[in-house]
Amino acid sequence: MEAKPPQITKNAVEEAKSKNIDAIVVDTAGRLQIDKAMMDELKEVKKAVNPTEVLLVVDAMTGQEAAALVTTFNIEIGITGAILTKMDGDSRGGAALSVKEVSGRPIKFVGRGERLEDLELFYPDRMAQRVLGMGDVLSFVEKAQEVMRQEEAVELQKKIMSAKFDFNDFLKQSQNVAKMGSMSRVIGMIPGMNKVTPAQIREAEKRLAFVESMINAMTAEEREKPELLAESRERRIRVAEESGKTEQEVSQLVAQLFQMRAQMQKLMGMVQGQEAIAGMGDLMDSLKAEEKAPPGTARRKRRNSKPKQRDLDAVLS
């Protein structure tokens, strides 16, 4: 006779205990609709393992429809919190309001992609900013610091200031952005970018892969010294043939790199020494202090100036 989910779960927990594993995640079967048999099964699973946490996974794309789902699960099963998924999609997270308001249970995590690192802790203030289309600067800075060490940032600044930014640097920065998550996720953290459509994001991702294929066809010397490509048509033709692109496309890429050099050098020239890099750490400290500030401080002043965000913070907290 085939074992039932409650017994399978109980056996798994006992096996984990015998191996001194102190944490186990039980992922129950998903359903497209709620029915009595499903609820009874979940109740039996919960009774069998007596879990510390019972988290309901909610699709952020469902919006207000999440309310009925949360209500039923909280009454029938009893949840300790929720996980809001698909935050990298079109939705900016309005479903978060339904989950908190209806169930009274906190949202503990949000999912912004399919990878493990795309599962993040939930912060009410940051969600409020996202819902209002204001981006999420604090999360953006945190992710940037995770993928780039201080020493790398300083070295990159030096290369930009001396107009030595090359294709190796370009490729490295593209890879760093990829480590931060999907492009839609990264763009969602940037203030003012909330109107970028999924189609535009997909086109940008294709363009990035398009450019990387040409860079990968270059020799190590050509990546380090793009002037060689600018001066030699033969080199450009070879890169085009090896990457499956046209000579014109390779020429455009080389021209764009030199334009980027000039623009970045001009931008970096507006700051002194290492202040731009050090400023990232200062910005983190400032934003975190504001996020934790008690009533009556600068945090209150900011909220008073943005009453809509204040209301969202109160609902999400």
- Tens of pLDDT along 291-302? 555 544 444 444
Q: How many domains does the chain have?
A: 3
CA-closest candidate to residue 120, choices 191, 193, 34, 188 = 188
List the one residue out of 29, 87, 76, 77 whose CA is nearest residue 53: 77
Return the pLDDT at 299: 42
Could you say which of 134, 169, 202 is where a domain stops? 134
In sequence order, what E strands does the chain have?
Answer: 55-59, 81-85, 107-111, 119-121
Q: Which long-range contacts (CB under 8 A, 24 or more apart) does 118-126 make?
A: 118/88, 118/181, 118/182, 118/185, 119/83, 122/84, 123/291, 124/312, 124/313, 124/316, 124/317, 125/291, 125/313
Contacts of 130 (CB under 8 A, 6+ apart): 87, 92, 93, 136, 188
**93 and 162, same domain (yes or no):** no
pLDDT for 18: 93
Residue 265: Cβ-neighbour burial (10 angstroms; 0-12, 13-18, 19+): middle
Residues 154 and 266 in one domain: yes
Please tell me whether residues 220 and 296 are part of one structural domain. Answer: no
Q: Please tell me whether residues 173 and 269 are part of one structural domain.
A: yes
Do 19 and 116 sit in the same domain of this protein?
yes
pLDDT at position 307:
44
Same domain? For 33 and 58 the reply is: yes
Q: Where are the alpha helices (DSSP H) in 150-271?
A: 150-161, 167-179, 183-189, 198-216, 220-224, 227-231, 233-243, 247-268
At CA 114, angle to CA 35 and CA 61, rounded to 5? 50
Residue after which a domain boundary falls, among 82, 111, 134: 134
Same domain, 104 and 183: no
**Inside any domain, residue 139:** no
The pLDDT assigned to 303 comes to 44
Q: Do 165 and 202 lie in a common domain?
A: yes
Looking at residue 253, its pLDDT comes to 92
Q: pLDDT at position 306, please?
A: 45
Please check whether residue 286 lies inside any domain of the structure: yes
Q: What is the Cα–Cα distance from 89 to 61, expressed in whole angstroms?
A: 7
Give the whole-angstrom CA distance, residue 204 versus residue 139. 22
> What three-state secondary structure class fits 51?
coil
Listed as ranges, residues in the chain with pLDDT below 50 are 272-274, 276-277, 283, 295-309, 311-317
Range of the domain at 255: 145-275
Q: For residue 222, which of 243, 208, 206 has the smallest C-alpha distance?
A: 243
Is 140 within the bounds of a domain?
no
Buried b or exposed e, range 91-123, using 16+ CB within 10 angstroms:
bbbbbbbbbbebbebebeebbbbeeeebebebb
Which amino acid is present at 181? G
Looking at the DSSP bridge assignments, the partners of residue 83 are: 57, 109
Strands 119-121 and 107-111, by their bridges, are antiparallel
How far apart CA 19 and CA 276 sit, in angstroms, is 49
Which of 112, 134, 156 terminates a domain? The answer is 134
